[in-house]
A and B are shown apart, each in its own frame.
Chain A
Amino acid sequence: MPPRRTAPLPETLKAYRHVWVFIELERGTVHPVSWELLGEGRHLADALGVELAGVVLGPPEEATRMAIAAAFHHGADVVHLVEDPVLAAYRNEPFTRAMTDLVRDCKPEILLLGATTLGRDLAGGVATALATGLTADCTELAIDPETRGLAATRPTLGGSLLCTIHTLACRPQMATVRPRVMASPRPDVSRWGRIVAHPLGMREDDIVTKVLDFIADDPRDKAMLTYADIVVAGGRGLGAPENLRLVRDLATVLGAEQGCSRPLVQKGWAATDRQIGQTGRTIRPRLYIAAGISGAIQHRVGVEGAETILAINTDPGAQIFTFAHFGIVGDALTILPALTAAFVQRRAALSFPAALS
């Protein structure tokens, strides 16, 4: 451990209390990263002996009510609510205003946001407006028992090393966490809490940016990697782009999503939305099969939430074997088709009697 630099927290900042989580409500749905953050926020709030609050910014409609209820079910004690028609679609200006006003009024010590396109857009503006520290894309959050401060760990330099960042003399301590890095807590529908409503100090006329249209993605075109139950991914060990077919074959048989490591995207063998790791998607499947992937930190932080990891690599010393649950030392080009054939047989054996009856 490097020597820790310390700076005393100014008296005026000692009044900052409680852990806040931004509930990312957009177009009627809450991004699941918000529940993952509430689960993590609950641990932090309990360690500090303070309240956990959800921040809900949205228009006056049923979806906003549902977001509030779900925030309580996922562990919030309090919901800070700004309800205004202006907040119907995400725009940086009114959301930054609502969030910074709330923080100035209520003084939370920790503020967590999802590292989504919305969360990153908002967090950068809010941290700048509040002149406080922001740690992006954290993989681990903990409370330093000595200082009560937030110890936020994140990979840096493309995931080649991990660093722990402390916000010493500013409050709130802000951090973003990517979807699926933290586990989602089991909702408890009997939980309820306090709602504190706040006004938005802004009208539509005050806002420069207008939303002209929203073009929803075609769900068929989208890689559903992040929330998939089974993922099969290939890496450099595949040797050639056409060998990605072997990954696809196994994924198809298992009903899995297909992914890859960063070098394959850099080589142009696979699309960016298939990339797994710190600079790609973070996954948390029940089963993850990594074929020909060495398992550098940058990849590891994206997959360590998987329930079971099966690694296939020719190098018995590969990093991936240090965190995989099962390992096969061998060539992915022969193991993948063997696994595919085995699963095809197993499925046929299972479904054949059913087909007869």
Chain B
Amino acid sequence: MNIIVCIKQVPDSTQIRVHPVTNTIMRQGVPSIINPYDLFSLEQALRLKDTFGATVTVLSMGPPMAVESLRKAVAFGADHAVLLTDRLFAGSDTLATSFALASAIQKLAGERPVDLVFAGKQTIDGDTAQVGPGIARRLGFQPLTYVSALRTLDRATRTIVVERRAEGGVQVLKTRLPALITMLEGTTPIRYPDMPDMFRAART
């Protein structure tokens, strides 16, 4: 299986200052982390890798320093990391962000078909929850948002059954691969990076 996990590097603190003259956000001096919601999706992807033996590629769009988050994802156990970085991406809205990420996924799929894309439910800085569904629509993948559990994945029939958090209950959905999944928070305990993967990350 070929799995792509979209992650975003976000400022750790919510105490962001705004530049008094330019009205832009001052990110300097604020430590950056992997968006916490993305970790649940990364963890689920790595669990599929543990079970079925998948290739997991982490994909991010951001400034060059976002490579730190990708390195961390490799330390958790991701196989490959791809960073989309360009000054032109600065200030992208959800439409532009999902376009850039979908284009990158299409490019990667050209080398080897993609079975599953994971994304965070939302980010802690933008909070829109719109990039995942946007990527799915552009790729023509089935969107599965707010997933609380993966029930079954049948590689022969290429079907997946998930539990999806809805208003007032849980929907059990069955769909075909390729699909895009955003995981609900708190669904799975997050692993710690192990030693060999940490060395691999340092060399990546």
Contact = CB atoms under 8 A, between A and B. Distances in A.
Contact of B174 (A31, A92, A159, A209): A209
Given A161-B16, A212-B174, A156 B125 contact: yes
A2 B134 CA distance: 29
Given A2-B23, A156-B125, A136 B166 contact: no
Contacts of A216: 168-169
B108 to A, nearest CB: 19
B173 to A, nearest CB: 6
Contact of A217 (B142, B144, B169): B169
A335 interface: no
Contacts of A116: 167
Tell me which of A93, A117, A127, A211 has the highest count of chain B C-beta atoms within 10 A of its own C-beta.
Answer: A117
A127 B168 contact: no
A133 interface: yes
Interface in B157-189: 161, 163, 165-176, 185-186
**Interface SS of chain B: helix, strand, loop or mixed?**
mixed
A124 B94 contact: yes
B130 A134 contact: yes
A133 B129 contact: no
Interface residues of B, number: 46
A310 to B, nearest CB: 25
B81 interface: no
A217 B168 contact: yes
A117 B172 contact: no
A156 B16 CA distance: 10
A26 interface: yes
B131 interface: yes
A213 B170 CA distance: 8
Tell me which of A91, A115, A132, A160 has the highest count of chain B C-beta atoms within 10 A of its own C-beta.
Answer: A160
A212 B133 contact: no
A137 B169 contact: no
Contacts, number: 141
Given A26-B166, A125-B137, A127-B130, A211 B172 contact: yes
**Interface SS of chain A: helix, strand, loop or mixed?**
mixed
A34 to B, nearest CB: 12
B146 interface: yes
Contacts of B134: 124-125, 127-128
A298 B145 contact: no
A129 interface: yes
B28 interface: no
A279 interface: yes
A250 B86 CA distance: 54
A307 interface: no
B14 A134 contact: no
Interface in B96-143: 98, 124-134, 136-138, 142-143
B51 interface: no
A298 B131 contact: no
Contacts of B176: 208
B73 to A, nearest CB: 22
A214 interface: yes
A208 B142 contact: yes
A121 B136 CA distance: 11
Tell me which of B125, B143, B174 has the highest count of chain A C-beta atoms within 10 A of its own C-beta.
Answer: B143
A121 B146 contact: yes
Contact of A158 (B95, B125, B129, B142): B125
A131 B95 contact: yes
Contacts of B143: 92, 121, 124-125
B18 interface: yes
A278 B127 contact: yes
Contact of B94 (A121, A127, A160): A127
5 contacts: A93-B142, A117-B166, A124-B132, A128-B137, A156-B126
Given A155-B127, A212-B161, 5 more contacts: A92-B143, A128-B138, A131-B95, A158-B125, A278-B127
Interface of B: 11, 14-16, 18, 23, 25, 93-95, 98, 124-134, 136-138, 142-146, 161, 163, 165-176, 185-186
Interface of A: 2, 24, 26-27, 31, 89-93, 96, 115-118, 120-121, 123-125, 127-129, 131-134, 136-137, 155-161, 208-217, 272, 278-279, 296, 298
Pairs A-B, 7 closest by C-beta atoms: A124-B133, A136-B128, A158-B14, A213-B172, A124-B130, A128-B137, A216-B169
